[in-house]
Amino acid sequence: MDWLIHDYREDDLAAVVHLIDTTAELGQESVFSLAECIGALTSRQPAVVAVSQGTPIGAALAHLAGDRAWVMRIAIAPAWRGRGLASALLRELERRLVERRIRRIAYVLPEEELLGEGLRNAGYTRRPAVGYFEKAEPPTGPVANLLEELGGRLLPGDLWDKVAGMEAEKNLIERRVVRPLAEPERAARHGVRPPRAIALFGPPGTGKTTFARAVASRLGWPFVELLPSRLADQGNLAAALRTAFARIARLERVLVFIDEVEEIAPLRTEGAVGGMHGVTNELLKLIPGFREGEERLLVCATNSIRSLDPAFLRPGRFDYLIPIGTPDAAARAAIWSRYAATRTDVKLDVLVDASELFTPADIEHAARSAAQAAFERDLGDGTAPGPDSAGATTDDYRAAIAGCRPTVTPAMIEEFTADIGSHARV
Ligand SMILES: Nc1ncnc2c1ncn2[C@@H]1O[C@H](COP(=O)(O)OP(=O)(O)OP(=O)(O)O)[C@@H](O)[C@H]1O
Ligand SMILES: [Mg+2]
């Protein structure tokens, strides 16, 4: 290699500015201005400089915004183009960014693509279109192994947007949980301490697991689900929990999910299932330690909040106890429209009204039976349906709804409403 790459130093400023300035006309322009680049350099944002025989020949600079870094500029002296210097600089820069716990690295660079005449006619001024390149930095090394041992992983980034409807719950979780964790400094300015543990309760199939995963996805944190059944395989459940939490403590950021938590922290009444006292006690002891860490959240879900040990749920341990009910009309409409999209003439409002108390899982089931009915009709009469008549009709859906036994009964709703009164903390 004919160059050395070092961290940017103050006395590189003039040379780097010269490089940025003189290469701008060579297809190396950037969406960041020279002034912005200088601003980043002088405020000690990460930057690297390549030197050959004492002369700076290339530079790459970034600036940090939260957990994302923007690569602002890669400038290469003309004589050094096409020799792999750009990727060498980028590699060095990325190494420094990863050290600073950056998870996403973004690079916006101009792209030669003409915009339509139509836009110009509509009064738009042409600016060079931008190509947006992004690279996720997956955890590597010991942390990745640790995550694997815990059965954890990073989830796709769009799960939050995929939660259909449930606006009230989404809003609440967004304001109370997601934002304080995502913007801890901003929260601290108002004296808000981000939550460390929340419980989601509600009837089966209403989306508790879905919400837990969506929060992890939204925060970009790894999702670790502790399955009591799997932990118990290792023999002593209390000891297995202790080991799991010790491993979790070594992760930089994590969302830990315990589903059906009533199984491991039931009421400690006389005659409670043998051996569970010890497990509940262990969990009670583990939560304070877990709460001391930053960038971590414990989410517990239960169908039966009333059968949980009250000591387990008290405020110092759980910040919020959030009810997740059956979807409201808007949520049902959003969920139905996801399944009933094959035909344009399906009357969504009819389905929404007919499916009160249906959970998302019930809707999915009814939609599937309706599609099956349409398919079987097609098989039966032998005539292939036209493109507009394929798929379930409103009547198919109505029949499927009528034939479906909702998971949640009125008695369960009554119980849930009472639980909201006695247990919810939002
Ligand atoms: N808001 C939603 N939009 C679309 N689909 C949803 C929504 N909520 C839940 N679902 C779907 O409904 C099904 C059940 O959801 P989920 O498993 O999250 O419920 P749960 O409350 O955890 O149930 P359980 O109490 O049985 O554990 C899943 O297939 C999920 O994808
Ligand atoms: Mg669940």
Instruction: Determine the distance separating the centroid of ligand 2 and the alpha carbon of 8, expressed in angstroms.
Output: 50
Alpha-carbon gap, residue 57 to 19, rounded angstroms = 8
Q: Is the pLDDT of residue 125 over 70?
A: no
- Nearest atom within ligand 1 for CA of residue 259: 27
Alpha-carbon gap, residue 363 to 357, rounded angstroms = 10
**Assigned superfamily of 4-136:** Gcn5-related N-acetyltransferase (GNAT) (3.40.630.30)
Instruction: Determine the distance separating the centroid of ligand 1 and the alpha carbon of 207, expressed in angstroms.
Output: 3
* Interior angle at CA 221, CA 257 and CA 246, nearest 5: 60
Confidence category of residue 390, pLDDT binned at 50, 70, 90? confident
Alpha-carbon gap, residue 396 to 346, rounded angstroms = 10
Confidence category of residue 88, pLDDT binned at 50, 70, 90? confident
| Whether the CB of 206 sits within 6 Å of ligand 1 | yes
Please compute the mean of the pLDDT values over residues 99-106 and round it to a whole number: 79
pLDDT at 149: 84
In order of 46, 315, 320, 402, the CA distances from 424 in angstroms are 46, 11, 8, 33
274 or 34, higher pLDDT: 34
Q: Is the pLDDT of residue 123 over 60?
A: no
Q: Is the pLDDT of residue 240 over 60?
A: yes
- Nearest atom within ligand 1 for CA of residue 324: 21
Q: Is the pLDDT of residue 120 over 50?
A: no
| Whether the CB of 322 sits within 6 Å of ligand 1 | no
pLDDT at 51: 95
| Tens digit of each residue's pLDDT (9 = 90 or more) over 294-311 | 999 999 999 999 989 888
76 or 131, higher pLDDT: 76
Q: Is the pLDDT of residue 23 over 70?
A: yes
- Mean pLDDT across the chain: 85
Alpha-carbon gap, residue 217 to 157, rounded angstroms = 5
Structure tokens at 50: 């390549």
32: amino acid identity, one letter? F
Nearest CA to ligand 1 atom 5: 360
Instruction: Determine the distance separating the centroid of ligand 1 and the alpha carbon of 359, expressed in angstroms.
Output: 8
Q: Is the pLDDT of residue 189 over 80?
A: yes
| Whether the CB of 204 sits within 6 Å of ligand 1 | yes
**Assigned superfamily of 142-326+416-423:** P-loop containing nucleotide triphosphate hydrolases (3.40.50.300)
Instruction: Determine the distance separating the centroid of ligand 1 and the alpha carbon of 220, expressed in angstroms.
Output: 20
Q: Taking the domains of the chain in order of start, what are their residue ranges?
A: 4-136, 142-326+416-423, 329-407
Q: Is the pLDDT of residue 124 over 60?
A: no
Per the listing, tokens 């716990």 go with: 101
Instruction: Determine the distance separating the centroid of ligand 2 and the alpha carbon of 422, expressed in angstroms.
Output: 22
pTM tops 0.75, yes or no: no
Alpha-carbon gap, residue 250 to 23, rounded angstroms = 45
Q: Is the pLDDT of residue 116 over 70?
A: no
Alpha-carbon gap, residue 89 to 112, rounded angstroms = 24
Tell me the ligand closest to 328's alpha carbon: 1
pLDDT at 426: 92
Percent of the chain with pLDDT over 70: 86
| Whether the CB of 208 sits within 6 Å of ligand 1 | yes
| Whether the CB of 195 sits within 6 Å of ligand 1 | no
Mutate to test the pocket of ligand 1, among 209, 303, 362 (most ligand atoms within 8 A of CB): 209
pLDDT at 111: 46
Burial class, 392, CB count within 10 angstroms (exposed 0-12 / middle 13-18 / buried 19+): buried
Q: H helices within 262-359, ranges in order?
A: 276-292, 310-313, 329-339, 348-354
| Whether the CB of 360 sits within 6 Å of ligand 1 | yes
Q: Is the pLDDT of residue 423 over 80?
A: yes
Instruction: Determine the distance separating the centroid of ligand 1 and the alpha carbon of 352, expressed in angstroms.
Output: 17
Please compute the mean of the pLDDT values over residues 401-411 and round it to a whole number: 92
Q: Is the pLDDT of residue 387 over 60?
A: no
Which residues, 6 or more positions from 177, have their beta carbon under 8 angstroms from its beta carbon? 195, 198, 215, 297, 320
Q: Is the pLDDT of residue 368 over 70?
A: yes
Nearest CA to ligand 1 atom 28: 361
17 or 26, higher pLDDT: 17
Q: Dihedral angle at the C-alpha atoms of 362, 367, 370, 375, nearest 10 degrees?
A: -130
| Whether the CB of 30 sits within 6 Å of ligand 1 | no
| Whether the CB of 361 sits within 6 Å of ligand 1 | yes
At the top level of CATH, the class of 329-407 is mainly alpha
pLDDT at 178: 96
Tell me the ligand closest to 325's alpha carbon: 1
Q: Dihedral angle at the C-alpha atoms of 80, 82, 84, 85, nearest 10 degrees?
A: 30
Lowest mean pLDDT among 272-276, 313-317, 335-339, 396-400: 272-276
β-strand partners of 5: 50
Radius of gyration of the chain (CA): 28
Confidence category of residue 382, pLDDT binned at 50, 70, 90? low
| Whether the CB of 280 sits within 6 Å of ligand 1 | no
Please compute the mean of the pLDDT values over residues 234-245 and round it to a whole number: 87
Tell me the ligand closest to 359's alpha carbon: 1
- Rounded to 5 degrees, φ, ψ at 61 are -135, 155
Nearest CA to ligand 1 atom 31: 210
| Tens digit of each residue's pLDDT (9 = 90 or more) over 209-222 | 999 999 999 998 99
Please compute the mean of the pLDDT values over residues 149-168 and round it to a whole number: 87
Please compute the mean of the pLDDT values over residues 275-286 and round it to a whole number: 83
Instruction: Determine the distance separating the centroid of ligand 1 and the alpha carbon of 168, expressed in angstroms.
Output: 16
Instruction: Determine the distance separating the centroid of ligand 2 and the alpha carbon of 104, expressed in angstroms.
Output: 30
Tell me the ligand closest to 337's alpha carbon: 1
Which residues, 6 or more positions from 336, have their beta carbon under 8 angstroms from its beta carbon? 348, 351, 352, 355, 363, 367
